[in-house]
Amino acid sequence: MNDIEKIKDKIKKLLALAKSPNPNEAATALKMAQDLMAEYKIETSDVNTIEIDSKITNTYSGYRPPRYETELFENIATAFGCNIIHGGNWGKYYWRFIGLKHRAEIAAYIGQVLLRKLRAARSNYYKRLYRVRLKSRKIQRADDFCLAWVTTVTEKLAVFARISEEEKSAIEIFKQKNHPNLGDLKSIERSFGNADDFYYGYKAGSGVELQHGVGVSPNKSLLLGA
């Protein structure tokens, strides 16, 4: 940790003390924090006491992910109070969760677990469609299966409490600072509309059970196991 980071860390601690119920302690801590910020020309956004971070889940879906994968990661991000970004280049793509540090970590891990399970479920279902002659039709039907799977599984995620305006603001500041040139994501839309595909996707998703993940305390989150 360099000198300026040490100063920022000290300011964070002082700002935390500034919320003390003791008025004298709070006033003294706030004055010290403001003096340090003025001396070192540090902005409030640089020392936000809310620790925002980003964590990624790698994917091989390319520049335009299929709609079912987009919905999977958007639903996970919503459940954990995170923003989600899709990015990458040269054949390496990822989903980036941005939010409170521990939430982003858990969301990225769940994304990794569920994406692996979703791909396995899709592969198995695709093989069941051997009587469908057209490859494009098989892809459409497998996509519909996945959409139902995603909806069913992500509904089981324990949703965090309401995200405060302060957290939302901190996330936006983080995004503007680290990802200033974000564009709109365009997913690949493929659907056939066969009710059977949605039914089997729902049935397969219903079989995924909620379990506590390794290294994740029960009060933080639930991971999805087999």
State pLDDT tens for residues 128-180: 999 999 999 999 999 999 999 999 999 988 665 567 777 888 888 889 889 98
- Dihedral sign for Cα 200, 202, 205, 207, please: negative
The verdict on pTM exceeding 0.85 is no
Which residue shows structure tokens 């490859």?
135
**DSSP bridge pairs for 211:** 223
What value does the mean pLDDT of the chain take?
A: 85
Kindly report each contact of residues 161-168 with a partner whose C-beta sits within 8 Å and lies 24 or more positions away, as own/partner. 163/81, 166/50, 167/50, 167/81, 167/99, 167/100
Burial class (CB in 10 A: 0-12, 13-18, 19+), 205: buried
Which residue shows structure tokens 């996330």?
171
User: What pLDDT score was predicted for residue 91?
Assistant: 82
CA angle 104, 105, 111 (to 5 degrees): 85
Q: CB of 111 within 8 A of CB of 213?
A: no
State the number of CA atoms in the 13 A half-sphere of 215 facing the CB: 5
The arithmetic mean of pLDDT across residues 177-186, rounded, is 89
